[in-house]
Amino acid sequence: MTLLYHYMLLISALSALLVGVASAWRNSQTATGWLFGVAMTVVAGWLYGFSKYFQPMNEADGLFWAQVTLSLGIMATPFLFHSMCALAGQMRFLRWWIIAAYVLSAALTTLVWKGVLIDGLRQVPHMDHYLRYNRTWYLLLSAHIVFWQFAGVVVLLREARCAVGYKRVQLIYFISAWFVVFLTTNSIIIPLEYGWNILPFGFFLLPINFGFVTYVMAKARLADFNVAVARVLLHSLTLVIAIGLCLLAVVGMRVVAPGFMQPEQIVFTVILVAAIGLVLAVTLPAWLPRAERHMEQRLFAARYGYQDALTSIGKTLNRLPDIDQLLTTLVTAIQSQMQLRRAAIFIQDPLTGEYRLQVQAGLIPAGQAPVLTEDAAIIRWLREHRETLVRDELPRRVPGRIARDLTSNLNQLHVAVCVPMIVDERLIGIIALEEKLSDEMFFDGDVRLLETLAAEVALTVRYRRMQEEFLRKNKLAELGTVAAGVAHEIRNPLASIRTFAQLLPEKMDDPEFKNEFSQLVLKDVDRITKVVETMLAFARPAQVTVSDYPVGDLVDEALLLVQPRVKSKRIELVKEFRSQPVLRVDKQQVLQVLLNLLNNAIDVLPEHGQIRVIAGHRPLESTSDGEVRDFAFIEVADNGPGIPAALRHRVFDPFFTTKKEGTGLGLSISQKIIRDHGGNISVTSTEGQGTSFRVNLPVASS
């Protein structure tokens, strides 16, 4: 068994050395990294020397290694205290205490090599040999080792009370790691001099503990402490189960074969543990994440509720009608759920390439919102690395000059975190966040959730931009058709006005002529004005403006715009208003839908065809969310050739068209507009008899 402890200590020594190297490398810009690296290197030497207590050797060699080991243990203490002071940022304030720790360590080390502290070697259970101390000096030695470590912890605790964000979490992690290491080493070794022979089980846990320390000192983005607690509990439970199964098997073998406690039994136990470890290694990845999440929800439900809330909000973003509303909903949810001082979203201007503030929520800073150019430090970094930028992580992840530029940009924006919105390798926007109101750091789970939301929003923004471009092109196509008809429509009134202007000098004294033609001219001018105003309103840039409109007014305005085309083909237009429900809609978007349906009907009809436009209420119906609502309908029907059955199911597909010069976007965009208003659009058609499109829209609440 002593040989097993010997090898475990060698593994622990190697682990401590790796901790020192990792800490110095990841924190090379700070004194803390180098000091802690030296401290852990000394600890590694002490562990290597301590392994010699479990290895047979003659008394002279044993005494030499005992002096080396004790000297390294004494010197590790001031290095650890110095590292703790540096981690707390208190080196200058506590410099005399640090000097005192080194001086006392030097004095005690001198006493070790002068033979004052050590009286020789002795036999101890679980070891091949161990030191016999001079009891007069042993209390001072023990006090030196314990006092400076606890003094360092007090310094860290005081700093943790005032620290915020990453620093506070790092200090809590470090204190927890130190406490576990202290319990598994010094609390077992110090009592040995007084005959308390505690089984040195802690040496088996040291590599795990040192891995934890490495995570604290080398990781730039830490998991939430509560997540770590949940993981430790879960892994501890798994370990207890594994050990319990092993012990149960061993006890069973003792019952079956009492004389089985021989070397072969050890082989059996090792094989059993290896088999269980293999099974756990295969099965853990499948159920461990779910188990961790379940435990976090049970233990810390109040804290993790916002993650579920934000995840559910991310799934509903596609249902929002426009980009501004989508971004406003997202930024408000992030700010309120995560309890941030402020949240903002910057979107790239497609023309200038600049990133401008689009929406924000929370405590709005005074002054004009800054604009980020494409060569700004933040933009360059996010484009290159495509990952979240966290201000607290900069000292450990980014070289000094670049870190200063990035910090300057972050301070200019008044934010602590920037999450990139990337689509097709392009940075289209940034989710920028200030600190939490609680001053907690942004944990690894927070960042992963934000990155998922940013990816979803980036895709949605790109889709909505493409959709808006399709709407604009479709509207221009409709406008061109309408404009041709309007030109024809105003030609006749202009001709009558021109005739009046030509005859006026000759008929100046004819009261009847003047009266009759004056009224005719005014009527024609009003007609032209109404047609032009309606066309201009339709051509105006789309801005979502929802108001209440009677369904008849919307139909009349659409019919006015297509009247010239209807007349030119001598189409019979039948209008039937069964009732006048009021719709709460965006007028321009609904007009675009009606114009598209009417123009499609006109296109397919021959001369002297017929279009029927019917509007009114329809029976109550349940929506997809189970709510019963009152709907109105507008039906546009023609007696044209109809749509072939093989093509009928494709009429709403983007880019599907049977026209030579059609875009195939009209009906797909119309369907999207109606769905955004909470309604639906359907088609029925019979070949040779005609086609009917029916638009159903919810009636405005009274």
- pLDDT, tens digit (0-9, with 9 covering 90-100), for 405-434: 888 888 888 888 999 998 888 898 999 999
Check if the beta carbon of residue 591 is closer than 8 Å to that of residue 665.
no
- pLDDT, tens digit (0-9, with 9 covering 90-100), for 304-349: 556 666 666 656 666 666 677 778 888 888 888 778 888 999 988 8
In a domain, 639, yes or no: yes
| Closest C-alpha to 478, from 559, 416, 568, 539 | 539
Residue 561 shares a structural domain with residue 666: yes
Q: What angle do CA 223, 224, 226 make, to 5 degrees?
A: 130
CA distance linking residue 598 with residue 555, whole number of Å: 10
Tell me the two tokens of residue 520.
Answer: 């005719």
Residue 283 shares a structural domain with residue 349: no
Residue 567 shares a structural domain with residue 697: yes
Which range has the worst mean pLDDT, 74-78, 246-250, 441-445, 490-494? Answer: 246-250
Strand partners, 372: 355
Q: What angle do CA 367, 368, 369 make, to 5 degrees?
A: 120
Count CB neighbours of 2 within 10 A. Answer: 13
Residue 440 shares a structural domain with residue 368: yes
- pLDDT, tens digit (0-9, with 9 covering 90-100), for 357-402: 888 888 777 667 788 888 888 899 998 888 888 888 887 777 778 8
| Beta-sheet strands, E only, within 311-375 | 342-348, 355-362
Q: What is the band of 676 on the pLDDT scale with cuts at 50, 70, 90?
A: confident
Kind plus residue range of the DSSP H or E element containing 611: strand 610-622
**In a 3-state reduction of DSSP, which class is residue 303?**
helix
Query: Ramachandran region of residue 542, left (φ > 0), alpha (ψ -120 to 50) or beta?
Result: beta
Integer CA distances (angstroms), 247 to 127, 136, 243, 269, 278, in order: 24, 44, 6, 9, 17
CA distance linking residue 182 with residue 480, whole number of Å: 82
In a domain, 606, yes or no: yes
CA distance linking residue 554 with residue 154, whole number of Å: 75
In a domain, 476, yes or no: no
Edge-to-edge strand ranges of the sheet holding 342-348: 355-362, 342-348, 426-433, 417-423, 389-390
Residue 162 shares a structural domain with residue 267: no
pLDDT of 626 higher than 80: no
Helix 263-299 to helix 225-256 angle, to the nearest 10 degrees? 150
Radius of gyration of the chain (CA): 40
As a whole number, mean pLDDT of residues 586-597 equals: 87
Considering the chain, what is the average pLDDT of its residues?
78
As a whole number, mean pLDDT of residues 50-75 equals: 89
Residue 408 shares a structural domain with residue 359: yes
The amino acid occupying position 263 is P
In a domain, 307, yes or no: no
Q: What is the band of 72 on the pLDDT scale with cuts at 50, 70, 90?
A: very high
> What would you measure as the largest C-alpha separation in the chain, in angstroms?
143
CA distance linking residue 85 with residue 158, whole number of Å: 11
- pLDDT, tens digit (0-9, with 9 covering 90-100), for 274-309: 566 556 644 655 565 565 555 555 544 555 556 666
Check if the beta carbon of residue 444 is closer than 8 Å to that of residue 221.
yes
pLDDT at 214: 72
Residue 318 shares a structural domain with residue 239: no
* Predicted TM-score of the model (pTM): 0.50
- For position 573, which CATH number holds? 3.30.565.10
In a domain, 501, yes or no: no
Number of domains observed in the structure of the chain: 4
In a domain, 507, yes or no: no
In a domain, 235, yes or no: yes
Check if the beta carbon of residue 224 is closer than 8 Å to that of residue 447.
no
Residue 129 shares a structural domain with residue 9: yes
Q: What is the band of 533 on the pLDDT scale with cuts at 50, 70, 90?
A: low
pLDDT at 458: 84
As a whole number, mean pLDDT of residues 656-670 equals: 70
What is the distance, to the nearest Å, from the Cα of residue 619 to the centroid of all Cα atoms in its chain?
43
pLDDT at 463: 76
- For position 349, which CATH number holds? 3.30.450.40
Task: Report how many helices (DSSP H) and strands (DSSP E) the chain contains, helices first.
Answer: 21, 14
Tell me the two tokens of residue 5.
Answer: 């402890």
CA distance linking residue 305 with residue 337, whole number of Å: 8
What is the distance, to the nearest Å, from the Cα of residue 255 to the centroid of all Cα atoms in its chain?
56
Torsion of CA 149, 99, 167, 172, to 10 degrees: 10
Q: Which of 436, 467, 498 is the last residue of a domain?
A: 467
Query: Ramachandran region of residue 94, left (φ > 0), alpha (ψ -120 to 50) or beta?
Result: alpha
CA distance linking residue 590 with residue 677, whole number of Å: 9
pLDDT at 109: 92
Kind plus residue range of the DSSP H or E element containing 696: strand 690-698
Kind plus residue range of the DSSP H or E element containing 152: helix 135-162
pLDDT at 186: 75
- pLDDT, tens digit (0-9, with 9 covering 90-100), for 489-525: 566 677 777 777 776 677 677 777 667 777 777 777 7
pLDDT at 311: 64
Check if the beta carbon of residue 316 is closer than 8 Å to that of residue 340.
no
Residue 699: CB partners within 8 Å, gap ≥ 6? 581, 582, 583, 617, 629, 630, 631, 632
Integer CA distances (angstroms), 237 to 162, 225, 275, in order: 34, 18, 18
- Count of residues for the chain? 702
Residue 11 shares a structural domain with residue 105: yes
In a domain, 347, yes or no: yes
pLDDT at 318: 62
Q: What percent of the chain has pLDDT over 90?
A: 12
pLDDT at 250: 63
Domain extent at residue 349: 313-467
Q: Which of 442, 467, 492 is the last residue of a domain?
A: 467
pLDDT of 198 higher than 70: no
Residue 403: what are its φ and ψ, rounded to 5°?
Answer: -60, -40
Residue 201 shares a structural domain with residue 230: no
CA distance linking residue 601 with residue 610, whole number of Å: 9
pLDDT at 103: 94
Instruction: Say if strands 572-577 and 610-622 run parallel, antiparallel, or are unpaired.
Output: parallel
CA distance linking residue 404 with residue 141, whole number of Å: 45
What is the distance, to the nearest Å, from the Cα of residue 75 to the centroid of all Cα atoms in its chain?
46
Residue 193 shares a structural domain with residue 70: yes
- For position 70, which CATH number holds? 1.20.1070.10
Residue 160 shares a structural domain with residue 245: no
Q: Which of 446, 467, 488 is the last residue of a domain?
A: 467
Q: What is the band of 530 on the pLDDT scale with cuts at 50, 70, 90?
A: low
Query: Ramachandran region of residue 582, left (φ > 0), alpha (ψ -120 to 50) or beta?
Result: beta
| Closest C-alpha to 209, from 172, 233, 178 | 178
Check if the beta carbon of residue 674 is closer than 8 Å to that of residue 645.
no
